[in-house]
Amino acid sequence: MLRCSTFGCDEHPFKHCNKCESVLLCEKCIPIHLDKHKEENSICTFDEIKIKLSTNSFARLRNNIKKSICQIEIQKNKIKREALKIDCQIQLIVKSAFKQLDNLIEKYKEIYKKTEFGVREYEKIQDIIKESLDFENPSFSKVKGSLTKNKTNQIKRVTKQYIKNLYCLQLEGHTSYVNSVTITSDNQYVVSGSLDKTVRVWNLLEKRQEVVLEGHTSGVISVAITSDNQFVIRL
């Protein structure tokens, strides 16, 4: 992951200085770097960062895109099959309901044609006279679909400044540089990994630190969270 070249800034860069070799800058640090060149009476411009992949990486990228498109088409067909199953189930439910209602209609027609009634029918006749049918509105159980969820763990990496700006949470406590900040998929917890050999878990809703995971023998370079938000992995 690219970082701004300005000391102490961990924002993502989007431009580079064409005067200084390998200097990558985020939006807020560009004016600072520009002032530095003005002090040195040198002229510089800033260009968009362009990343060129190696031949191997480029080939892998295209190959994975082809595989992903194939998986998407397979998923579409699976969705169609599941939809047909649900449609069949609904049709069976409707068919059963219609059969019950048709049987009820036949019973009413039989009574309608009669002019005299037996003793056993009298109670039913009185109910029909006194009351009218009032059905509830038909409804089906809500169908909740999980149709496009990717099972691959999607790690959401952000910066300390991002957390501070969006959630008003200051990640304090680390005694060295924070290398990695990750948010759970439900946006309830933040996990930070640092060169101070600790991993810290923060509660976004209550804006407080939950736990400090110590015992690492070296600085934590990167952290990830499993797709079910149950485990933290040190990478």
Taking only the tens place, the pLDDT of each residue in 2-47 is: 889 888 888 888 888 888 877 899 988 999 899 889 888 888 888 8
Outline where DSSP puts E strands in 95-231: 156-158, 178-183, 189-194, 199-203, 208-213, 223-225
| Domain assignment present for 17 | yes
Please give the residue range of the domain that contains residue 18.
1-51
Residue 153 pLDDT = 47
**pLDDT digit string, tens, across residues 107-150:** 889 989 988 888 888 888 888 888 888 888 887 766 566 665 66
| Domain assignment present for 146 | no
Mark whether 160 and 228 lie in a shared domain: yes
**pLDDT digit string, tens, across residues 76-90:** 888 888 888 888 878
Using CB atoms within 10 A of its CB, is residue 181 exposed (0-12), middle (13-18) or buried (19+)? buried
Q: How confident is the model at residue 216 (pLDDT cuts 50, 70, 90)?
A: confident
Domain CATH code at residue 41: 3.30.60
How many structural domains is the chain composed of? 3
**pLDDT digit string, tens, across residues 177-191:** 888 888 887 778 888
User: pTM to 2 decimals?
Assistant: 0.45
Residue 89 pLDDT = 78
Mark whether 121 and 60 lie in a shared domain: yes
Whether 207 shows a pLDDT value over 60: the answer reads yes
Q: How many CB atoms lie within 10 A of CB 27?
A: 12
Mark whether 72 and 91 lie in a shared domain: yes
